[in-house]
Amino acid sequence: HASRVKQTARCKTLLVLTIDTINPTVKKVEYAVRGPIVQRAVELERELSQGMKKPFAEVIKANIGDAHAMGQQPITFFRQDAKSRACRILQSCGGHSMGAYSASQGIDSVREDVARYIERRDGGVPCDPDDIYLTTGASDGIVTMLKLLVCGEGASRTGVMISIPQYPLYSAALAELGAVQINYYLNEEKCWSLDIPELQRALDEARQYCNPRALCIINPGNPTGQVQSRKCIEDVIQFAAKERLFLMADEVYQDNVYADGCQFHSFKKVLFEMGPEYSDTVELASFHSTSKCYMGECGFRGGYMELINMDDEVKAQLTKLVSVRLCPPVPGQALMDLVVNPPQPGEPSYDNFIKERTATLSALAEKAKLTEQVLNTVQGISCNPVQGAMYSFPRITIPEKAVKEATEKGQQPDMFYCMKMLEETGICLVPGSGFGQKDGTYHFRMTILPPSDKLKILLDKVKEFHQKFTQQYS
Amino acid sequence: HASRVKQTARCKTLLVLTIDTINPTVKKVEYAVRGPIVQRAVELERELSQGMKKPFAEVIKANIGDAHAMGQQPITFFRQDAKSRACRILQSCGGHSMGAYSASQGIDSVREDVARYIERRDGGVPCDPDDIYLTTGASDGIVTMLKLLVCGEGASRTGVMISIPQYPLYSAALAELGAVQINYYLNEEKCWSLDIPELQRALDEARQYCNPRALCIINPGNPTGQVQSRKCIEDVIQFAAKERLFLMADEVYQDNVYADGCQFHSFKKVLFEMGPEYSDTVELASFHSTSKCYMGECGFRGGYMELINMDDEVKAQLTKLVSVRLCPPVPGQALMDLVVNPPQPGEPSYDNFIKERTATLSALAEKAKLTEQVLNTVQGISCNPVQGAMYSFPRITIPEKAVKEATEKGQQPDMFYCMKMLEETGICLVPGSGFGQKDGTYHFRMTILPPSDKLKILLDKVKEFHQKFTQQYS
Ligand SMILES: Cc1ncc(COP(=O)(O)O)c(C=O)c1O
Ligand SMILES: Cc1ncc(COP(=O)(O)O)c(C=O)c1O
Output the pLDDT for position A96: 84
Q: In this structure, what is the dihedral angle of CA atoms B201, B202, B203, B209, given to the nearest 10 degrees? A: 120
Query: Residue type at B396?
Result: I
Tell me the average pLDDT across A261-272: 97
- The shortest CB-CB distance from B34 to any of A19, A104, A296 is to A104
Tell me the average pLDDT across A217-225: 97
Distance (Å, rounded) from C-alpha B309 to C-alpha A15? 9
Compute the nearest-CA separation of A311 from chain B (Å).
6
Q: Does A239 touch chain B (CB under 8 A)?
A: no
∠B229-B263-B456 over CA atoms, to 5°?
110
Which numbered ligand comes closest to the C-alpha of B217? 2
Distance (Å, rounded) from C-alpha A61 to C-alpha A68? 12
pLDDT at B1 over 50: no
Residue B101 alpha carbon, nearest atom of ligand 1: 10
Which residues does ligand 1 sit against, CB inside 6 Å?
A 65, 137-139, 167, 169, 218, 222, 250, 252, 289, 291, 298, 303; B 326
**Cα B468 from chain centroid?**
32
pLDDT at A6 over 50: no
Mutate to test the interface with A, among B11, B60, B97 (most CBs of A within 10 A): B97
**Cα A356 from chain centroid?**
24
ipTM: 0.89
- The shortest CB-CB distance from A298 to any of B34, B74, B99 is to B99
Distance (Å, rounded) from C-alpha A393 to C-alpha A385? 10
Residue A64 alpha carbon, nearest atom of ligand 1: 14
Cα of A66 from ligand 1 centre, angstroms = 10
Cα of A303 from ligand 1 centre, angstroms = 10
Tell me the average pLDDT across A265-280: 96
Distance (Å, rounded) from C-alpha A33 to C-alpha A26? 17
C-alpha pair distances (Å), A471 with each of A398, A400, B100, B105 = 11, 12, 38, 40
Q: Does A336 touch chain B (CB under 8 A)?
A: no
Compute the nearest-CA separation of B128 from chain A (Å).
9
∠A113-A100-B394 over CA atoms, to 5°?
130
Query: Residue type at B326?
Result: L
Distance (Å, rounded) from C-alpha B204 to C-alpha B76? 50
Query: B310 vs A17: CB contact, 8 Å cut-off?
Result: yes
- Chain A residues closer than 8 Å to B203 by CB: none
- Comparing CA positions, the residue from B70, B223, B415 lying closest to residue A100 is B70
- Comparing CA positions, the residue from B263, B176, B270 lying closest to residue B220 is B263
- A-B interface: how many C-beta pairs under 8 angstroms? 291
Tens digits of residue pLDDT in A397-411: 999 999 999 999 999
Q: Does B68 touch chain A (CB under 8 A)?
A: yes
- The shortest CB-CB distance from B280 to any of A7, A143, A295 is to A7
Distance (Å, rounded) from C-alpha B47 to C-alpha B54? 9
Q: Spell out the domains of chain A, with CATH numbers in brackets.
A: 31-72+359-472 (3.90.1150.10), 100-340 (3.40.640.10)
Q: B472: burial class by Cβ within 10 Å (0-12, 13-18, 19+)?
A: exposed
Query: Helices A312-323 and A137-149: crossing angle, nearest 10°?
Result: 130
Output the pLDDT for position A10: 46
Query: A7 vs B296: CB contact, 8 Å cut-off?
Result: no
Query: A1 vs B128: CB contact, 8 Å cut-off?
Result: yes
Q: Does B326 touch chain A (CB under 8 A)?
A: yes
Query: B329 vs A151: CB contact, 8 Å cut-off?
Result: no
**Given pLDDT bands bounded at 50, 70 and 90, which one contains residue B398?**
very high
Query: Are the C-beta atoms of B283 and B308 separated by less than 8 Å?
Result: yes
Query: Are the C-beta atoms of B155 and B193 separated by less than 8 Å?
Result: no
- Chain B residues closer than 8 Å to A280 by CB: 7, 11
Q: Which residues of A48-62 are buried (b: 16+ CB within 10 A; e: fewer)?
A: beeeeeeeeeebbbb
Compute the nearest-CA separation of B22 from chain A (Å).
6
Q: Which of A7-11, A159-163, A418-422, B444-448 has the lowest mean pLDDT?
A: A7-11
Cα of B6 from ligand 2 centre, angstroms = 39
- H/E stretch holding A448 reads none
Query: A17 vs B69: CB contact, 8 Å cut-off?
Result: no
Query: B283 vs A18: CB contact, 8 Å cut-off?
Result: no
- Comparing CA positions, the residue from B296, B307, B311 lying closest to residue B267 is B307
Beta bridge partners of A446: A392
Cα of A355 from ligand 2 centre, angstroms = 43
- Taking only residues 155 to 214 of chain B, the set having a beta carbon closer than 8 angstroms to any beta carbon of chain A reads 168-169, 172-173, 176, 213-214
Q: What are phi and psi of B104, to 5 degrees?
A: -65, -30
Distance (Å, rounded) from C-alpha B77 to C-alpha B294? 12
Query: Are the C-beta atoms of B293 and A142 separated by less than 8 Å?
Result: no
Instruction: Write the DSSP string, B57-76.
Output: S--EE-SS--TGGGTPPPPH
- Chain B residues closer than 8 Å to A454 by CB: none
Q: Does A149 touch chain B (CB under 8 A)?
A: yes
Select from B136, B166, B167 the residue to mutate for testing ligand 2; criterion: most ligand atoms less than 8 Å from CB. Answer: B167
pLDDT at B395 over 80: yes
Tens digits of residue pLDDT in A128-144: 999 999 999 999 999 99
Which one has a higher pLDDT value, B259 or A42? B259
The listed range with the strongest mean pLDDT (B89-93, B214-218, B316-320) is B214-218
pLDDT at A264 over 80: yes
- H/E stretch holding B127 reads none
Q: Which residues of A438-471 are buried (b: 16+ CB within 10 A; e: fewer)?
A: eeeebbbbbbbbbeeeebeebbebbbebbeebbe
- The shortest CB-CB distance from B299 to any of A33, A100, A317 is to A100
Query: Are the C-beta atoms of A135 and A156 separated by less than 8 Å?
Result: no
Select from B162, B222, B252, B254 the residue to mutate for testing ligand 2; criterion: most ligand atoms less than 8 Å from CB. Answer: B252
- The shortest CB-CB distance from A94 to any of B33, B66, B244 is to B66
Q: In this structure, what is the dihedral angle of CA atoms B409, B410, B412, B418, given to the nearest 10 degrees? A: -40
Tell me the average pLDDT across A230-258: 97
- Chain A residues closer than 8 Å to B325 by CB: 136-137, 139-140, 143
**Given pLDDT bands bounded at 50, 70 and 90, which one contains residue A288?**
very high
Beta bridge partners of B285: B248, B307
Q: Name the residue in chain B with its Cα closest to that of A91.
A: B69
Query: B15 vs A311: CB contact, 8 Å cut-off?
Result: yes
Tens digits of residue pLDDT in B52-93: 999 899 888 878 888 777 777 888 878 777 777 778 888 888
Which residues does ligand 2 sit against, CB inside 6 Å?
A 326; B 65, 137-139, 167, 169, 218, 222, 250, 252, 289, 291, 298, 303
Q: Does B91 touch chain A (CB under 8 A)?
A: no
C-alpha pair distances (Å), B104 with each of A39, A45, B120 = 11, 17, 26
Distance (Å, rounded) from C-alpha B430 to C-alpha B407? 18
Q: Which of A2-6, A261-265, A334-338, B56-60 has the lowest mean pLDDT?
A: A2-6
Q: B468: burial class by Cβ within 10 Å (0-12, 13-18, 19+)?
A: middle
How crowded is residue B5: how many other Cβ atoms within 10 Å of its Cβ? 10
pLDDT at B183 over 60: yes
Output the pLDDT for position B195: 96
Tens digits of residue pLDDT in A23-66: 778 777 777 776 778 888 888 999 999 999 998 998 888 888 88
| Whole-number average pLDDT of chain B | 91
Cα of B265 from ligand 2 centre, angstroms = 18
Query: Are the C-beta atoms of A115 and A128 separated by less than 8 Å?
Result: yes
Distance (Å, rounded) from C-alpha A425 to C-alpha A209? 45
Q: Does A241 touch chain B (CB under 8 A)?
A: no
Cα of A380 from ligand 1 centre, angstroms = 30
Q: A126: burial class by Cβ within 10 Å (0-12, 13-18, 19+)?
A: exposed
Tens digits of residue pLDDT in A62-78: 888 887 777 778 888 78
**Given pLDDT bands bounded at 50, 70 and 90, which one contains residue B35?**
confident
Q: Which residues of A156-172 are buried (b: 16+ CB within 10 A; e: fewer)?
A: ebbbbbbbbbbbbbbbb
- Comparing CA positions, the residue from B321, B323, B102, B291 lying closest to residue A300 is B102
Instruction: Write the DSSP string, B83-126.
Output: HHHHHHHHHTSGGG-TTS---TT--HHHHHHHHHHHHHHTTT--
- Taking only residues 251 to 310 of chain A, the set having a beta carbon closer than 8 angstroms to any beta carbon of chain B reads 280-281, 283, 291, 295-301, 309-310
